[in-house]
Structure 1
Amino acid sequence: MRDIGNNNCKVGKTSFLLTFLLLISCLCFSQTKYNLDFFTTHNQFYLCDSAFTGTTGDTSFWNKDAQMARLGNTEDIIGIKVASFGHVKAELNFLHTADTEKDFGKYEHVVEGSVKLSSCIMEILNFPDTKIILKAIVTPGRYRVRIYSYAIKNVNPEEDEGTDHYKITLWPAEDRERKVLKAFKE
């Protein structure tokens, strides 16, 4: 388990100025996109607040409903279930408003969840060593997270490589309910 730090967004004068400039630059764009290509294990990775206090180790996090939804969550951590055992290929998009995509025809599974990001930093972590794959500065608040999964149908879940790919969108929203918008039929 790593040190979770505190939930305050405290930075020095130089860091504050850099953070402020980064936040202003982010507001000037309609969205920010990151391409992710990394290794994890056990068919999962995490999107969380950098000062998360939730735990993924109890049976309620990856319960039957979470497994079916391909999304586990606590207040400040989302677990994303992937088809291949190790290699993750994904894109992450920060949006200013709700994701409006409604045609899910090219995806095999689409699910939404919620995460509270309080520390000003969102992270993508692999599993089980929680290596930081991505750090992004965010405005503190609650975010809606939508995960689109595609090319997952014929992936062997015990092999490191697969054809699976993921698109993740994040936007400010208060809705906390996990919702499966399109269910994968195994």
Structure 2
Amino acid sequence: MKFHLNFTTDYGQFYISDKTPTGSTGSENFWTDQAFADKLAVEKNILGISIANDEGKVKCLLEILNSKSLTNDFSSFDHVVEASIEIKSGVLQVIDCPSSEIEMETKIENGEYRVRVYSINLESAYSENTKDSYKVEMWKEGYAERIVLKRYLG
């Protein structure tokens, strides 16, 4: 399944979440210094994705894959990070911040998923014509800690 998302958010973030997360985006464990550096916050059943532009424009392709992503050449991406999320409600949501508007909702099989976030064109994020965009891939996989596969140093 593919979803092309185009919406606005605030505070440089949006969320990928189970419909009924037990974790909180307000938790002191969510946007830690490490989460900011890694551009991905993790709590129970919810992930926070950091965006770079000040205008809050989110251009994102979300793909739910049948198996692990085969992408292993990250040269066309600025930053790549992965983390795990557990879906318990059978519903996946993409939510803006801070009003918690549901930007996308779909039924999904319950279980543990790996989520990989690719950040693209981050150097343009603070220009007049922002071109930063994000690609998110999800596939079923057991829990693993957050890991940065390519770090943006700009």
8 Å CA contact 2:85, 2:143 repeated in 1: no
Which residue does 2:8 correspond to in 1? 39
Hey, what's the Cα distance between the residues in 2 that align with 1:53 and 1:94?
A: 22
More helix, by proportion: 1
Hey, what's the Cα distance between the residues in 2 that align with 1:41 and 1:120?
A: 27
Q: CA deviation at 1:53?
A: 1.6
User: Does 56-65 or 112-121 show the bigger shift?
Assistant: 56-65
Query: What is the identity percentage for the equivalent residue pairs of Structure 1 and Structure 2?
Result: 34
User: Does 127-136 or 57-66 show the bigger shift?
Assistant: 57-66
Hey, what's the Cα distance between the residues in 2 that align with 1:140 and 1:104?
A: 29
Normalising by structure 2, we get a TM-score of 0.95
8 Å CA contact 1:83, 1:162 repeated in 2: no
Q: In angstroms, what is the RMSD of aligned CA positions?
A: 1.4
Which residue does 1:145 correspond to in 2? 115
Bigger Cα Rg = 1
Q: How many residues align?
A: 153
Greater than 3 Å deviation, 4+ residue runs: none
8 Å CA contact 2:29, 2:43 repeated in 1: no
Normalising by structure 1, we get a TM-score of 0.79
Which residue does 1:174 correspond to in 2? 142
Select the residue among 82, 100, 105 that pairs with 1:135: 105
Which residue does 1:22 correspond to in 2? none
Structure 1 unaligned spans of 5+:
1-31
Hey, what's the Cα distance between the residues in 1 that align with 2:113 and 2:102?
A: 20
Matches within 5 A, 1:1-186: 32-85=1-54, 86-156=56-126, 162-186=130-154
